Structure 1
Amino acid sequence: MSVIDTPALCDLAIIGGGAAGVLAAIGVLRGASGPLRLLVIEPNLPLARGVAYATTREEHVLNVPAAKMSGFPEQAEDFLDYLCDVQAFPAVPREQLASQFVPRRHYADYLRLRLQQALDASPAQLEILAVRVQALQPNDDGVLLTLDSGGSVLAARVILAVGNALRPLPARGAGSLPDSLRVEAWDYPALGGIAGSADVAIIGSGLSMTDAVATLQANGHRGRIHVLSRHALLPLPHAKGAAADYDPEPLLAMNLRQRLHALRAHAAEAAVRDIPWQSVMERIRPLGQRLWQTLSPDDQRRFLRHVVRYWDVHRHRIAAPVHAQLLELQQSGRLQLHRGRLETAVAEGACVCLGAQDRQRRPLQLEVQCVVNATGVEMRAQAMRNPLLQQLLGSGVGRPGPHGIGLDTAADGSLIDAEGRVESRIQVLGSLRIGSLWESLAIPELRGQAAAAAKQVLLPPPLREA
């Protein structure tokens, strides 16, 4: 692989070099039957280190056991094979490693190795451009990409895999806080630099919060940790136990209220048989996208308004030791969980004064030395602070997805423009498809989308130099 200056023409441009973009590139390289020019455009190198896998810290572990993290639908244990082949854990038997939650840093290394292997065996050419795409415009010749370097690329096909964006801190005055007092949860070096004696407020109580707490603990942090969120629900743990054996298909014909009632009934029945509720949730895991798409638009809105946070803590679970650490910190009094809505953030000397309201609209005041923004993934494309997405929506090349979430796409992942026309030359992957699919962030969905997009973009003949 080589890093290059701006090319003039390519057969395929993949915008984004995180997990989804790299998986798509691997699929194209493996499927190519002749020479074609593939370009991955990613400003933050090395590749495969998107938000989830950029961390190099040992305490940041996968939320899924190693045996379930293959990047390829047809190779169920490929990630586990990789860990064994490179002897990442030489003292751990394969059977034991399969059920472990390994540090996330291994996943980026795994994807890069598989990318290099695919390139070595492919007739296609892969090049990397370390810049940002500012604008995208389909025309008669292909799709013209405008780069922040001042150059441009004309691609026959495009895969849009820009990855996740963090929500801004939801408080008046947050934008004026100095960097020394505010840390983004996905800024792993800054997270590791928080002073051990600092009192810290973490805004948000989801998966990003668990990373922040784990890093504070690994660094010997001694200060108080305040976790503030609207629902004050911590992620729940995975559990070992027998598999649930009910048929989940009838759920698809139910409305939202009926589904929730049915799942509670299945969980209660499972408990009588000493089967954990986690097994009940695992049973519906393959139906995630169909469950969303078979809800009425009104029920989807009800889900987003009233159910989503409860769904998140049951669906997006964490390793049991990570959950135990959170409970231990709570019991010791070092971690305090607050239920409320953040309203203001004001710097006062070396401190930040946070103002919030609880559910009864009573004031809540916190004074800390550092605020960590762990509010999670931004789902509205127009709010992602990404110039390319703003251009797509502003020019009508794309339009927001259902309920204003992500971008609107056809069933095969093709972008839909403001007039409702399908642009089959532009495939969309990952978080930008949440509005249409809901389940579109985890590796099982990303690997499936990447494989499908790779097959789609290999259909037309490659673009040739004039």
Structure 2
Amino acid sequence: MHRRVAIIGGGAAAAALLGELLERRPPHPLHLDWYTGGGALARGVAYATRSDHHLLNVRAASMGMFAGKPQGFLDFMQREDPSVAGTDFLPRRCYGDYLEAEVARAMALGKVHGHDVQVVPFAADAVVPEADGVTVFRGEETRRVDAAVLAIGTLPPQPLAGVDAEALASGRYVVDPWPLLAAPPAVAPAHVAVIGLGLTAVDVLLELAARWPDTRFTAISRHGLLPEPHLRTTALPSGDSAELIEAMLDAPDVHRWLRLLREAIAQEEDWRSVIDSLRPHIPALWAELPMEQRTRFQRHARWAWERVRHRMPPPVHASLAALERDGRLRRLRGHLQAADVDGDGLRLELRPHGGGALQVLQAGLAVQSVGMDFDVARTPHPLMRQLVVNRHVLPDPLGLGCQATPHGRLLHEGGVWPRLFAIGSLLRGTLWESTAMPEIRQQARAVADQLLAE
């Protein structure tokens, strides 16, 4: 059993692991060093928003923090408001409140059990793993621990190629939308370009459209399509998905998988039930795909999978449809080629999807919202750069986090680190689905089991 453990990261994934450990009663007390990075404790980026426009993309009944209590969030909300239903899509700020409450409860329980938790309100500067332990560096202080877990959440976004340095320096091209959404300028631009059309872009559009009622928006993406909406009620498969999963495992080929999915969807009342039935099997399916097929999926099918797998709540879909009907939102298919300062605004050059002459778009502000960055080999994140440069971890070949075992142990050139783990986004290349709470809580339990095993 590892008695002293460092948890590195201050968001929901780290909170889930902390809770799993503090609820246990091992033979010896635990000493936990929690490097939170100084942000909003437990909330991270996803749940730090206070906007009522930003809703959870998963129904309340499925958002529990612990694997053993999947309805924990629903129970928390119903104590305050019994009218809340398990099928509701609630504001993300409510989930942040729930995480904070669960962390406070776990800390109090851990104290009763004799556990010691040291909250370090800073980021770890460096981590040096060895066979018999891990050393964590923060400033001039070093701490030797029995094991460390990286739960750092999303990597900092980077500007797209072609964005001019002057455009970045001007503040008119925004790479990280969250500080902007928390405190948008008082003077609204007449026209805003949003680069990307995933769930982050949806958050940007909803918040800025509400703050700036006279602003027009142009959203640009490869295919110009928004995420699909959830049904207002849950949809379950009418048949057993075991036959579909078995057929996919027998033929790990992206083109064949797409054909099998189309055939399964044709037998259902709604396609969402088929997509949702795959969720528990995604890690096993992804593990069977050869690297060539993973590359093909990334290039040709990832965009389609993301928009049907990571869907938006019906009220969000309705709000965006209203913006389009009112002429405030238009969508373009294309790729950003360049962004330069032009007078008081920006000049954006777009390459239409499929080729053709460049299009020029003028905007007072451009907000990059292309989704999460997983590429540890190119990230400016200081800790991940240190781990990669010193070859303590191996970047995933497709830029999807770090190479790891399915149970979260990180790999290096000599094999598997026995005492260095990861949960959440860093396991994207190993598990594929690794960023939503239903998956993260399972990872937290699995890592806690390994940390506490004799």
TM-score (norm 1): 0.90
Q: 1:174 to 1:377 in 2, by over 3 A?
A: farther
CA contact (8 A) 1:195 1:221 kept: no
Contact 2:10 2:41 in 1 (8 A): yes
1:141 Cα offset (Å): 5.8
Partner SS state of residue 162, structure 1: coil
Following the alignment from structure 1 to structure 2, what is the Cα–Cα distance between the partners of residues 121 and 204? 43
CA spacing shift, 1:204–1:411, aligned 2, 3 Å: same
Write the distance in 2 (CA, Å) between the matches of 1:299 and 1:306: 10
Who is 1:22 aligned against? 15
Partner of residue 128, structure 1? 119
Secondary structure in structure 1 of the residue aligned to 2:398: helix
Q: Which residue of structure 2 lines up, in the alignment, with residue 383 of structure 1?
A: 378
The residue type equivalent to 1:264 in the other structure is R
Decide whether aligned partners of structure 1 residues 261 and 289 sit closer, same or farther in structure 2, where only a CA change above 3 A counts.
same
Q: Does the 8 A contact of 1:31 with 1:455 survive in 2?
A: no
Percent of aligned pairs with the same residue? 32
Equivalent residue number for residue 99 of structure 2: 111
Corresponding position: 1:417 with 2:412: yes
Structure 1 SS opposite 2:76: helix
SS in 1 for 2:315: helix
1:205 equivalent in structure 2: 197
2:362 to 362, 367, 373: 367
Does residue 253 in structure 1 map to residue 241 in structure 2?
no
Deviation at 1:120, TM superposition (A): 1.5
Deviations 1:196-255 (A, max 9, x none): 343101111100110011102322421210111122221110013642233232222232
- Deviation of 1:36 after TM superposition, in Å, equals 2.3
Supply the distance in 2 between the matched residues of 1:200 and 1:455 (Cα, whole angstroms). 48
The question of 1:185 aligning with 2:177 is answered yes
Residues in 1 aligned to 2:238 and 2:397: alpha-carbon distance in whole angstroms: 33
State the AA in 2 paired with 1:306.
Answer: H
Cα distance change of structure 1 residues 56 and 396 upon mapping to structure 2, 3 Å threshold: same
- The answer on 1:408 being equivalent to 2:414 is no
Contact 1:343 1:354 in 2 (8 A): yes
C-alpha deviations, 1:408-464, integer Å up to 9, x for none? 112321111123x1111111111111111101101111000111111211236xxxx
Pair 1:55–1:25, CA change in 2 (3 A): same
Partner of 2:347: 353
Q: Distance in 2 between matches of 1:125 and 1:74?
A: 23
Partner SS for 1:382: coil
Which letter maps to 2:224?
A
Number of residues paired by the alignment? 440
Tell me the distance in 1 between the aligned counterparts of 2:295 and 2:204.
31
Q: Does 1:99 align with 2:99?
A: no
> Which has the higher mean CA deviation after the structures are superposed, 426-435 or 219-228?
219-228
> For the residues of structure 2 that align with 1:74 and 1:104, how far apart are their CA atoms?
22
Pairwise CA distance, 1:348: 2.4
CA gap of 1:81–1:456, structure 2 versus 1, over 3 A, is same
- Secondary structure of 2:304's counterpart equals helix
SS of the equivalent of 1:131 reads coil
Query: Do the aligned residues in 2 keep the contact of 1:181 with 1:350 (CA within 8 Å)?
Result: no
The corresponding residue for 1:41 is 35
CA RMSD of aligned residues (A): 2.0
One-letter amino acid matched to 1:408: Q
State the one-letter code of the partner of 1:345.
Answer: A
Give, in whole Å, the separation in 2 of the partners of 1:136 and 1:93: 47
Amino acid in the other structure paired with 1:218 = A
Which residue in 2 is equivalent to 1:439?
Answer: 433
Map 1:257-268 onto structure 2 (within 5 A): 257-268=255-266
The CA deviation at 1:180 is 3.5
Give 1:153's aligned residue: 143
Equivalent of residue 72 in structure 1, options 66, 70, 76: 66
Instruction: Give the partner amino acid of 1:258.
Output: R
8 Å CA contact 2:132, 2:419 repeated in 1: no
Q: Which amino acid aligns with 1:158?
A: A
Instruction: State how far apart, in whole Å, the 2-side matches of 1:78 and 1:99 are.
Output: 14
What is aligned with 2:152? 162
Give unmatched runs, 5+ long, in structure 1: 1-8, 461-466
Partner Cα distance (1:158, 1:266) in 2: 43
The structure 2 residue matched to 1:237, chosen from 200, 204, 229, is 229
Equivalent residues in 2 for 1:315-330 (5 A)? 315-330=309-324
**C-alpha distance in 2, partners of 1:174/1:207?**
26
Deviation at residue 160 of structure 1 after TM alignment:
0.6
TM-score (norm 2): 0.92
Measured in 1, the distance between the counterparts of 2:183 and 2:107 equals 35
Superposition deviation, residue 190 in structure 1: 4.8
Comparing 307-316 and 349-358, the one that deviates more: 349-358
Equivalent residue for 1:287, pick from 262, 281, 287: 281
2:431 corresponds to which letter in structure 1? L
Q: How big is the shift at 1:140?
A: 6.4
User: After superposition, what is the alpha-carbon deviation per residue over 1:7-61, rounded to whole angstroms, capped at 9, x for unaligned?
Assistant: xx98111000101111101111111433221111022333112121111111101
Alignment partner, residue 224 of structure 1:
216
Corresponding residue of 2:207: 215
Tell me the equivalent position of 1:13.
6
